[in-house]
């Protein structure tokens, strides 16, 4: 033990986040993280069951600085600000952003943000079950859009081709102004669609008494 400070889960997660931000996702191996901490790779296993558990902690740590939206704002504005802030926070840590997008938000910060979302959706007028489902839909969309942003920006040029390929299809008129896959614009547009949809769903609940929203 040449490190002066003792090994803790938090300290390990911080070191892993540092390694990922500096050297990219593939560098976040148990061996490299241990090297960053100047400890034996196996020492990490005394604080985390396996690599997946360690990365979950790192993903949650990346959400630590997501601010909670102004409680005085309208429910839809609150959701928009929060989900956008999650995307921004993840993109500030490119090493772990892909993992944030692929794992359940069950860490301390993930649960905190989920509670804010649920409160906003309940305020919108959704019953509990639909609020939970709407939250999961928002999480799913945010996760995928985030994963696309990461892939398009750092790893995979093929995502950039998607807009071009589809704009060139028979059905698409020429001259369409394209938005890059994974861009902030594209993210905001899809988020608006979902919030539109939630608003419509909530309207059915509160506006029409005998509505049967489950019917197709």
Binding site for a copy of itself (CB under 8 A): 56, 77, 80, 101-106, 111, 114-115, 118-119, 122, 127-137, 139-141, 143-145, 147-148, 151, 156, 158-159, 161-163, 165-167, 169-173, 175-179, 181, 186, 189-190, 192-201, 216
Considering the complex, state which of residue 31 and residue 189 has its C-beta at the smaller distance from a copy of itself: 189
Q: With respect to DNA, which residue has the nearer C-beta, 6 or 72?
A: 6
CB of 150 to a copy of itself, least distance (A): 11
* H-helix or E-strand spanning residue 140: helix 128-150
Question: According to CB under 7 A, which one of 22, 24, 52, 128 is a site residue for DNA?
Answer: 52
Give the number of other Cβ atoms within 10 Å of residue 33's Cβ. 25
42 contact choice in a copy of itself, DNA, none (CB below 5 to 8 Å, kind-dependent): DNA
DSSP state of 62: H
The DSSP annotation for 78-128 comes to: HHHHHHHHHHHHHHT-HHHHHHHTTS---SHHHHHHHHHHHHHHHHTT--H
Asked if 41 touches DNA (CB under 7 A), the answer is yes
| Subset of residues 95 to 154 that bind DNA, contact rule: CB under 7 A | none
**Selection from 83, 200, 62, 60 nearest residue 145 by Cα:** 83
Out of a copy of itself, DNA, none, what residue 134 binds, judged by CB under 5 to 8 A for its kind, is: a copy of itself
User: Is 45 near DNA (CB under 7 A)?
Assistant: yes
Q: Is 39 in the site for DNA (CB under 7 A)?
A: yes
Q: Tell me which of 29, 136, 196, 206 binds DNA, using CB under 7 A.
A: 29
Q: How many angstroms separate the CA atoms of 139 and 101, rounded?
A: 9
Tokens standing for residue 176: 């369409």
Residue with tokens 């309208």: 74
What is the C-alpha to C-alpha distance for residues 63 and 112, in angstroms, rounded to an integer?
A: 10
**Closest distance to DNA from the beta carbon of 39 (Å):** 6
Our measurement of the distance from residue 59's CA atom to the centroid of its chain's CA atoms, rounded to an integer in Å, reads 9
Query: From CA 56, how far away is CA 50, in angstroms rounded?
Result: 10
2 binds, among DNA, a copy of itself, none (CB under 5 to 8 A by kind): none
Residues of this chain that interact with DNA (CB under 7 A) are: 1, 27-32, 39-43, 45-46, 50-52
């Amino acid at each position: 033990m040449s490190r002066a400070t003792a090994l803790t889960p938090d300290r390990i997660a911080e070191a892993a986040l540092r390694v990922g931000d500096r050297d990219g996702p593939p560098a976040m191996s148990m061996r490299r993280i241990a090297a960053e901490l100047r400890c034996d790779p196996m020492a990490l296993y005394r604080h985390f069951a396996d690599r997946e558990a360690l990365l979950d902690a790192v993903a949650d740590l990346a959400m630590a600085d997501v601010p909670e939206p102004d409680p005085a704002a309208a429910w839809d504005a609150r959701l928009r600000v929060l989900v956008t802030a999650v995307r921004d926070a993840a993109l500030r840590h490119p090493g772990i952003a892909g993992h944030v997008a692929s794992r359940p938000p069950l860490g301390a910060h993930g649960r905190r943000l989920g509670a804010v979302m649920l409160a906003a959706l309940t305020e919108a007028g959704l019953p509990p079950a639909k609020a939970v489902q709407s939250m999961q839909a928002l999480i799913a969309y945010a996760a995928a859009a985030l994963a696309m942003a990461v892939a398009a920006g750092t790893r995979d040029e093929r995502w950039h081709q998607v807009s071009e390929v589809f704009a060139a299809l028979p059905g698409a008129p020429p001259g369409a102004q394209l938005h890059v896959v994974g861009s902030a614009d594209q993210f905001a547009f899809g988020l608006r669609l979902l919030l539109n949809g939630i608003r419509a769903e909530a309207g059915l609940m509160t506006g029409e008494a005998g509505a049967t929203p489950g019917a197709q």
